[in-house]
Amino acid sequence: MNIEKLQEKPYFTTQQAKNWGVSPRMLSYYVESGKLERIARGVFRASTFIPSSHEVQWEGLAIAASNIDQGVICLLSALSYYDLSDEFVNEYWIAVPNSHTRVKFPMTRVVRLRNMKLGVKTIKMANMTVQIFDKERTILEVFRLLDIETAIKALKRYVSGEHGKPDIRKLLRYSKELRVNISHYLLPLTL
């Protein structure tokens, strides 16, 4: 694949470039010559690519999620994406399977979870395909792993329907499966 084909891609990894017949040495050459831009370890884009403001907002999170094997956007990063929190997130929260080997990526907090299938969905974020926990799973994980104040605020926003119709049945089903009892918080909000 020639440089023109690489420049058509908004983002690509070293592995994808290898699959297209471009060696790491050629990638380095293209970066040094200004034809490509290295935006993270192992992630590149055309230097002429101009992302939209929405893409810029989620670019770092998408890069982190796509570079961590089996990574799923979770907790504060997912709350922020769904607009269920006002908290400023200064690091990316990514879940990995409990048995996963050591993971390290800049500005990323890795959370090890046992059940990695429940509530996972695939979305497009900043022109990349990433996985994220749905709203219901995210809220329950916040109750389980973070502070109660953040969890209650997220639950209130979710139930208000401000950002889409809430699926209370799904929330309760997940609550049973994850063994997180939120009924005493949910009841006053749904009356």
The pLDDT tens digits along the chain (191 residues) read: 567 777 777 777 788 888 888 888 988 898 898 888 887 778 888 877 776 655 667 888 998 898 888 999 999 999 999 999 988 888 999 999 998 888 888 889 999 999 999 999 999 998 788 999 999 999 999 999 999 999 999 999 999 988 789 999 999 999 999 999 998 898 887 75
d(CA 153, CA 28): 46
Residues with Cβ within 8 Å of 69's Cβ and at least 6 positions away in sequence, in order, are 96, 100, 103
Query: For residue 18, what pLDDT is reported?
Result: 86
This prediction has a pTM of 0.79
Sign of the Cα pseudo-torsion (146, 147, 150, 153, in order): positive
| 8 A C-beta contact, residue 65 and residue 94 | yes
Query: For residue 35, what pLDDT is reported?
Result: 86
CA distances in angstroms from 96 to 3, 19, 72, 120, 126, listed in the order given: 34, 25, 7, 12, 21
| 8 A C-beta contact, residue 107 and residue 64 | yes
| 8 A C-beta contact, residue 12 and residue 18 | no
d(CA 69, CA 71): 5
